C-alpha cells in the first residue's frame, strides 16, 4: 500500500517551495534530487529542444494549436494536403474519406459556434424588461377577464 504523497523539500528559483511530489525514499522531486542531476539536465535539454521544434513547425504550418474549431480545421487541412501528395492507394483514399468526414463535423461545429455567438450577442444587446414575460402574459389574461 502506498503512503500519502509528500511534496519536494526544495525551493524554486523564485524562493517558493517546490510543489512537485517527492521521489520515494527521498525528500526531493526528480528535478531537485541530487542523485538524478544528470538525468534531470538531459530532460530539461530535451524539453527545450521540443519547444523550439514546436515553434518552428507551428510557424512553418501556420498552426496555432487545438483550442478553437479554426485551429483544428487548420490541422485537418495540413493533413489533407500531406495525404493528397502521397501516391494513390486504397489507404490514401480511406484517409481522405476520413478527413472529409472530419471536415464536415468541423464545419457543423463552426456553424453552431457562430450561431450560438450570434444568439448570445442578440440576447445581451436586448434591454431586459423589468417585468418577466410570464407576468406580462398573466396581466393580459387578467385584463381580458375584467373586461368580460
Where in the sequence is the domain holding 119, given as residue range(s)? 62-147
Instruction: Indicate the residue among 38, 61, 84 that finishes a domain.
Output: 61
CB 47 within 8 A of CB 31: no
- How many separate helices (H) and strands (E) can be counted in the chain? 4, 0
Domain boundary among 12, 45, 61: 61
- pLDDT tens-place string over residues 110-136: 899 999 999 998 888 776 656 666 665
pLDDT in tens, 21-48: 888 888 988 888 888 888 878 877 776 7
Residues 119 and 107 both lie in one domain: yes
| Total number of domains in the chain | 2
Please indicate, yes or no, whether residues 67 and 112 belong to a single structural domain of this protein: yes
Amino acid at each position: 500500500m502506498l503512503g500519502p504523497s509528500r511534496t519536494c523539500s526544495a525551493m524554486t528559483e523564485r524562493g517558493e517551495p517546490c510543489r512537485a511530489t517527492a521521489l520515494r525514499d527521498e525528500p526531493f522531486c526528480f528535478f531537485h534530487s541530487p542523485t538524478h542531476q544528470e538525468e534531470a539536465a538531459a530532460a530539461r535539454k530535451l524539453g527545450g529542444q521540443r519547444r523550439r521544434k514546436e515553434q518552428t513547425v507551428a510557424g512553418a504550418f501556420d498552426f496555432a494549436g487545438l483550442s478553437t474549431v479554426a485551429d483544428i480545421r487548420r490541422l485537418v487541412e495540413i493533413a489533407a494536403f500531406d495525404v493528397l501528395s502521397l501516391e494513390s492507394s486504397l489507404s490514401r483514399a480511406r484517409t481522405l474519406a476520413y478527413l472529409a468526414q472530419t471536415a464536415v463535423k468541423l464545419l457543423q461545429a463552426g456553424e453552431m459556434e457562430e450561431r450560438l455567438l450570434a444568439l448570445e450577442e442578440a440576447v445581451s444587446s436586448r434591454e431586459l424588461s423589468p417585468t418577466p414575460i410570464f407576468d406580462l402574459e398573466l396581466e393580459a389574461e387578467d385584463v381580458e377577464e375584467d373586461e368580460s
